[in-house]
């Protein structure tokens, strides 16, 4: 196969859900091993919690939406990048935006890195495996769901710990 000849193929690899799950697991293991030495460990822990929970929820939601809508991909069998699973929404776009939205919530200076998920989303349409609606929906799901998880976790973190029973 000549997948590597299309430059958009390399951009789309940055959005594979497997890559982001591996990054989340690796980040979690790194945190567990080095948390005593991290200068901003509370922020790192909060970022990892938001990212991992968001990735899990986004992955499940995208799969449910793909099954529920069962929209075919816009590409034909001659397209080497085309798969047989449903098209809507783009899981690559959704998972890519989860990571960079979570990163932005904890480091506002990281906003230029949003170029990465934008390139991933664009690559899905450029390869012909998604429509622009698929890509836009996936991008919005990734951003909005991550913001929702972040908001819910912030509320949970503010809640006082439960009182212990007095004797």
Listed range (16-20, 85-89, 105-109, 113-117) with the worst mean pLDDT: 16-20
State how far the Cα of 88 lies from the Cα of 133, in Å rounded to an integer. Answer: 8
Model-level pTM? 0.74
State how far the Cα of 96 lies from the Cα of 77, in Å rounded to an integer. Answer: 26
The answer, yes or no, to whether residue 73 has pLDDT greater than 70, is: yes
Listed range (24-38, 108-122, 136-150) with the worst mean pLDDT: 24-38
State how far the Cα of 103 lies from the Cα of 154, in Å rounded to an integer. Answer: 15
State how far the Cα of 31 lies from the Cα of 35, in Å rounded to an integer. Answer: 5
- At 101-140, the pLDDT tens digits run 988 888 788 788 888 889 888 888 887 788 899 999 999 9
Of residues 87, 89, 85, the one with CA closest to residue 145 = 89
**For the chain, which residues make up each domain, given as ranges?**
12-157
The greatest distance separating any two alpha carbons of the chain, rounded to the nearest whole angstrom, comes to 74
The answer, yes or no, to whether residue 165 has pLDDT greater than 60, is: no
CB-side exposure of 134: number of CA atoms within 13 Å?
Answer: 27
State how far the Cα of 77 lies from the Cα of 131, in Å rounded to an integer. Answer: 16
State mean pLDDT over 25-53: 72
3-class secondary structure per residue, 98-166 = HHHHHHHHHCHHHHHHHHHHHHHHHHHHHCCCCCHHHHHHHHHHHHHHHHHHHHHHHHHHHCCCCCCCC
The answer, yes or no, to whether residue 30 has pLDDT greater than 80, is: no
């Amino acid at each position: 196969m000549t997948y590597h000849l299309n430059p958009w193929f390399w951009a789309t690899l940055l959005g594979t859900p497997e890559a982001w799950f591996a990054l989340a697991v690796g980040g979690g293991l790194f945190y567990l091993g080095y948390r005593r030495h991290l200068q901003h460990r509370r922020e790192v822990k909060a970022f990892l919690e938001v990212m991992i929970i968001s990735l899990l929820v986004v992955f499940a939601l995208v799969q449910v939406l793909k099954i529920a809508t069962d929209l075919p991909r816009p590409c034909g069998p001659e397209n080497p990048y085309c798969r047989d699973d449903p098209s809507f929404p783009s899981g690559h776009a959704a998972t890519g935006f989860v990571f960079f939205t979570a990163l932005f919530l904890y480091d506002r200076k990281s906003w230029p890195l949003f170029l990465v998920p934008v390139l991933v989303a664009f690559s899905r349409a450029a390869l012909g495996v998604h429509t622009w609606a698929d890509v836009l929906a996936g991008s919005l799901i990734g951003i909005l769901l991550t913001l929702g998880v972040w908001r819910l976790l912030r509320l949970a973190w503010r809640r006082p710990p439960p009182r212990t029973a007095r004797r």
